Amino acid sequence: MSMVVKSKPILVTGATGFVGSYICRALIKDGYTDVHALKRTTSMLELLGTDASRITWHECDVLDMLGID
């Protein structure tokens, strides 16, 4: 049986929306420590609450492969 490594980076797209914010909060609650997400400069983070500060944000479009570093 393989062991889940909760320190590996995870990238979530749509993290500021209803489903994406739920996934991010669930990952953080489950102990994942390296959660990354994409957002636009105009994105609102209310759905994430205080967990928004525990996410590493990347300002770019999902289609901008060079912007996702």
Mean pLDDT across the stretch 9-14? 94
Rg (CA), the chain: 12
Q: What pLDDT, in 10s, does the model give residues 19-36?
A: 999 999 999 999 999 999
**Cβ-contact 31, 40 below 8 angstroms:** no
pTM, to two decimals: 0.86
Q: Measured between alpha carbons, how far is residue 37 from residues 4, 17, 33 in Å?
A: 20, 11, 13
Sheet holding 10-12, edge to edge: 10-12, 35-39, 56-59
